[in-house]
Homo-oligomer: A and B are copies of this chain.
């Protein structure tokens, strides 16, 4: 049987504000466009609307930068208040050079600006990553599954850069309902040799698959991935995607 699946953008969700019920907004929008969330679906939700609904917004006018942030901002040529916020969201600075600040967030993600973002929010406001994206994903999964009458999986996605290659890709920062890694460990090729390249970051690949239908202008902050069988949940969530720093050659 041919393996195939579909990716469907969910439009008409509209502007999301602190306290809004993202699950209800996504369910209603999906139903309105005649693609209601169904059992077996993976819902990919933009980090930005989750952060907004959870009130993870900060007014830069309320931020007093520390002396360290002022000094770093001067070297980077950036707003000291923004640098202050980035440092607060980080547990380690990975690279600081040529205007770029790559840090490790409190969750363990390594990314530019600790995921702090100034687009698609009000002036002088920044959006932080959700405090616990796996928890956010689980809460959405419960609501979606109840509405669909069957199991729905959820990925909270954000666009991260990477070394060596131009362009950002959408990746998973929160996962609920399935194991984000797909493993071929122990399997062999037709010649009987153990497979190399044996663990695939399926959750990241599916976040990327969703991106082409998700409007960067925040008009389509959610998508459905429909028709795939995902690896059974191992209860670890997105933390499986974090490389152990002791095994990482690039920190």
Binding site for B on A (CB under 8 A): 2-9, 11, 15, 33, 35, 95, 97-98, 100, 102, 109-110, 117-123, 159, 162-171, 180-182, 184, 187, 189-191, 193-202, 204-206, 208-209, 211-213, 216-218, 220, 228, 240-243, 247-251
Beyond A190-B218, A200-B216, A205-B211, 12 additional pairs, beta carbon < 8 A? A3-B8, A3-B9, A6-B7, A7-B7, A98-B247, A119-B197, A163-B248, A164-B248, A166-B243, A182-B212, A195-B216, A206-B212
Q: Bound state CA distance, A240 and B195, in angstroms? A: 31
Q: How far is the CA of A216 from the CA of B48 in the complex (A)?
A: 33
Is there contact, CB below 8 Å, between A202 and B212? yes
Q: Of the candidates B33, B117, B170, B241, which one forms a contact with A167 in the assembled complex, judged by CB atoms under 8 Å apart?
A: B241
Alpha-carbon gap, A87 to B29, bound state (A):
53
In the complex, chain B residues whose CB is within 8 Å of the CB of A211: 200, 202, 205
Residues of B within 8 A of A7 (CB): 4-7, 209
Known contacts A201-B169, A249-B102, A243 near B163 by CB under 8 Å: yes
Q: Which residue of B lies closest to A102 (CB)?
A: B249
A217 to B98, CA, bound (A): 43
Distance in Å: Cβ of A63 to nearest Cβ of chain B: 18
Q: Which 6 A-B pairs have the closest CB atoms?
A: A167-B201, A163-B250, A209-B209, A205-B208, A208-B208, A110-B164
